[in-house]
Amino acid sequence: MWRIISFISGLAVIVVLLFRYRITMRTTIDLTSKVAVIGLWRAGMQNLTALSRDALTLAFKMLWHNQPRLLLTVLGVGVAFFLAAAQFGLLVGWTNTNSALIRHANVDLWVMAEQTPAFDYGTAIPRQRIHQALSVPGVEWAEGLFMGWEIWQRGDGRRVNVELVGLDKSNVGGPWAMRDGKLGCVHVAHQVIVDELYLGPLGVKQVGENFEMIGERTVVGGISQGVRTFTASPFIFTSIEQAIRIDKRYHAEEITYALVRCAPGADVAAVQQEMRKRIAHVEVLTSNEFAVRSAKYWMLETGVGITVVITAVLGLGVGVVITSQTLFAITQDHLPNYATLLALGFRRSSLVVMVLVQSLTLGVCGVVAGSALFFSAVLASARTPIPLETTPLVYAGLVAVSLLSCLVASVMSLRSIFKIDPVSVFRL
């Protein structure tokens, strides 16, 4: 049994390492890791006895014997894996999207009105909070940020809901990559920045075009890259002063968030605690806490996340059913051969290894096929408003769950193996 476990562990390590190469898209090959993979494989193979190697050979040849069925099964498992990976990819992409501005602001603490559910739903707090934050020991820098829902009027008269973000002097909280123009243009009268992903919906063709927001003239001063919105309302960036002038619901001395950076070496948690004590009627969250809160709001409270997870689980379920059915059919087809092997003195454990190896092989091939589809989709969606993304942890988890599902799918086949009576070889 330990041989089986060591073989499966070896396979898992190889899959993880292969994944590492894939996910980081490295162009240079890490020779050390490559040697480690080969070493692991060789060590694993040396641990296997000749009989186990025969069981592996028999398992692979048995699968290869019916190539059309093998191909269809791998495609089936691959599509199921792709379905699950794509759903989790959407989840990760959306989670990244709805916390992107928070993460890219690169500040330590966010001061906001109490019970702010997500970045997109901040409400007004006095600008004075910035000065109160600056008075807390350990704080090095603090500025404001405006966030409000407005209406953008296109040249053809159509109106589009947008999220207007007003930047303070340092432009913190603004776009992190510019295609055209400069970030500082937001401080020029009437100028705003729009993102290239939403030029179509906003009716923008180039920098310098004029539009209207709540009756106020706006000029496109720059075009950013990769600033997605989760709410389908594009982000528009300008200065705080111009944002308040457009919004009209905020007073001149109001902001939505106070962004805080601590001095180097300062204990952020201690600063956060002190700030909570000193500033009344606000919440003080770290960037990570605020990002998690925003993600939780959109993913859990709106039901979007649950729907996506259910679809992903269904995808994995489809994979289990496909693998299970095919493996069972293969096992049933080969029952006479299994009976012959038993009659010739093969151990039943060798037959079990064969079924498990077949199951894992289908799983690994399916995962590889599904991964090819998934990473193609990731590349294709990289510059669209709805990106598919993943993290090493999520992807490794998906691979592990998929392979585990394939092993679960072999249960029915294993039952058949345990029921084989070698005497039946005389009745064939």
Q: Which residues of this protein are in contact with other proteins, per CB under 8 A?
A: 50-51, 54, 57-58, 61-62, 64-65, 336-337, 340-341, 343-348, 422-423, 425-428
Cα–Cα distance for residue pair 390/397, rounded to 1 Å? 11
Cα–Cα distance for residue pair 120/231, rounded to 1 Å? 9
Sign of CA dihedral 351, 354, 356, 362: negative
Which residue carries 């901040």 as its tokens?
A: 122
Which DSSP state fits 424? G
Cα–Cα distance for residue pair 50/45, rounded to 1 Å? 10
**348-381 and 304-333 are packed helices; what angle lies between their axes, rounded to 10 degrees?**
140
Cα–Cα distance for residue pair 200/176, rounded to 1 Å? 21
List of long-range contacts for 54-58, beta carbons under 8 Å, 24+ apart: 54/350, 55/350, 55/351, 55/353, 55/354, 55/357, 56/353, 56/354, 56/357, 58/341, 58/354
Nearest Cα to Cα of residue 214 among 246, 167, 170, 191? 246
Least CB distance to other proteins at residue 1 (A): 15
Helix (H) or strand (E) holding 102, with range, is helix 100-105
Nearest Cα to Cα of residue 192 among 227, 254, 236? 236
Cα–Cα distance for residue pair 288/392, rounded to 1 Å? 19
**Tokens linked to 157:** 């008269």
Task: List for the chain the helix, strand, coil content (%; round to 5).
Answer: 60, 15, 25
Q: What angle do CA 77, 83, 86 make, to 5 degrees?
A: 135
**Tokens linked to 205:** 């063709």
Which residue carries 């190896």 as its tokens?
A: 357
Nearest Cα to Cα of residue 295 among 111, 100, 88? 100
Cβ 104 vs Cβ 171: under 8 Å: no
